A and B are shown apart, each in its own frame.
Chain A
Amino acid sequence: MIKNINLTLKIWRQDAPDKEGRFETYEANEISTDISFLEMLDIVNEKLIIEGKDIIAFDNDCREGICGMCGAVINGRPHGPQRGTTLCQLHMRHFSDNEVIIIEPFRAAPFKVIKDLVVDRGSLDELIKTYGYISVNTGGAPDGNAIPIPEEIAEKAMDAASCIGCGACVASCPNASAMLFVGAKVSHLSLLPQGKIEAARRVLAMVKKADNIGFGNCTNEKECEVTCPKQVSIENIARLNREFIKACFCSTAK
Chain B
Amino acid sequence: MKKNWFVEILLSSIGKKLLMAITGFSFCLFLTAHLIGNLTLYGGKFFFLSYVTRLHSLGIIINIAEICLLFMAIVHIGMGCLLFYENTKARPIKYAIKVSGGGRTIGSSTMPYTGLFLFLFIIMHLFNFHFVDKGEKTIYKIVTDILSNPFYVAFYIFAMGVVAIHVSHGFWSVFQTLGLNHPKYMPLIKNIGIAFSIIIGIGFGFIPIYISLFA
Contact = CB atoms under 8 A, between A and B. Distances in A.
Contact of A222 (B9, B17, B104): B104
Given A217-B16, A239-B179, A104 B95 contact: yes
B32 interface: no
Given A77-B99, A220-B176, A244 B104 contact: no
B192 interface: no
11 contacts: A12-B96, A108-B90, A172-B103, A174-B87, A174-B104, A215-B13, A216-B13, A221-B104, A234-B181, A239-B181, A244-B179
A242 B93 contact: no
Given A102-B97, A219-B83, A235-B181, 18 more contacts: A75-B99, A76-B99, A83-B101, A104-B96, A175-B90, A176-B91, A208-B12, A216-B91, A217-B83, A220-B177, A222-B104, A223-B101, A227-B103, A240-B14, A243-B179, A245-B179, A248-B9, A254-B5
B33 to A, nearest CB: 26
B76 interface: no
A94 to B, nearest CB: 14
Interface string B79-109: 0000100110111111111111111100011
Contacts of B95: 73, 76, 104, 107
Interface residues of A, number: 50
A206 B180 CA distance: 21
A217 B178 contact: no
Interface of A: 12, 23, 73, 75-77, 83, 102, 104, 107-110, 172, 174-177, 179, 207-208, 210-211, 214-227, 234-235, 237-245, 248, 254
Nearest to B14: A244
Contacts of A235: 181, 183
B104 A223 contact: yes
A177 B86 CA distance: 10
Interface string B1-43: 0000100010011101110000000000000000000000000
Interface residues of B, number: 40
B173 A220 contact: yes
Main secondary structure of the interface of A (DSSP, over half): mixed
A254 to B, nearest CB: 5
Contacts of B94: 107
A109 B91 CA distance: 5
B103 A222 contact: yes
A23 B95 CA distance: 12
B166 interface: no
A149 B133 CA distance: 68
A210 B13 contact: yes
A179 B102 CA distance: 18
For B14, B87, B179, the residue with the greatest tally of chain A CB atoms inside 10 Å of its CB is: B14
A149 to B, nearest CB: 19
Contacts of B98: 76
B90 A216 contact: yes
Given A220-B177, A245-B179, A226 B90 contact: no
B90 A207 contact: no
